[in-house]
Amino acid sequence: MDKNKVVEVIDPALKKRIEEEISGLTFTKNFRSSTAEEWYIFLPGFKDKKTGGAAGKAIVHYNLWGNQNIFINTTIIFDDPSLYDPKLHALVYAIADEIVNRLVGYANTLLSVHAGENSYTAEYKS
């Protein structure tokens, strides 16, 4: 492969920040029922500006269809408005992807991410 033809899609500084945020990503379970869980999301560089607490929350809702099919709806809501900056879309996407990986393991999932201008939806199918 000719290295002169390789173009970095993500700025190296942003790539480093993504790695730092993901390596410091932690969760605390706030609520659990038979069909849902709510997790607080903690990131080293972000926090809720109002409370100083978690940068956001993830709500995982399980829809059970009989014994064989499980479908998961995951909603991630970021409370730090810094994550709404369009320049950080790749960071928000990477963090949300890691949250889905850790909480539901990429099972059949509909994902809804609420982060201002960086909001999006995605579908994971296993």
Question: What whole-number percentage of the chain has pLDDT above 90?
Answer: 72
* CA–CA separation, 59 and 29 (whole Å): 10
Length of the chain: 126
Amino acid, single-letter form, for residue 30: N
Q: What is the per-residue pLDDT for 84? A: 97
Q: What is the per-residue pLDDT for 64? A: 67
Dihedral class, residue 108 (left if φ above 0, else alpha if ψ from -120 to 50, else beta): beta
Q: Are 96 and 113 in contact (CB under 8 A)?
A: yes
Domain span including residue 105: 3-124
Task: Indicate whether 67 pLDDT > 60.
Answer: no
Q: What is the per-residue pLDDT for 49? A: 93
Question: What whole-number percentage of the chain has pLDDT above 70?
Answer: 89
Q: What is the mean pLDDT of residues 26-52?
A: 94
Structural domains in the chain (count): 1
Q: What is the per-residue pLDDT for 2? A: 60
Q: What angle do CA 105, 38, 89 make, to 5 degrees?
A: 65
* CA–CA separation, 101 and 1 (whole Å): 31
Q: What is the mean pLDDT of residues 83-90?
A: 96
Q: What is the mean pLDDT of residues 3-21?
A: 83
Structure tokens at 58: 């993830």
Q: What is the per-residue pLDDT for 123? A: 92
Q: Is the pLDDT higher at 108 or at 70?
A: 108
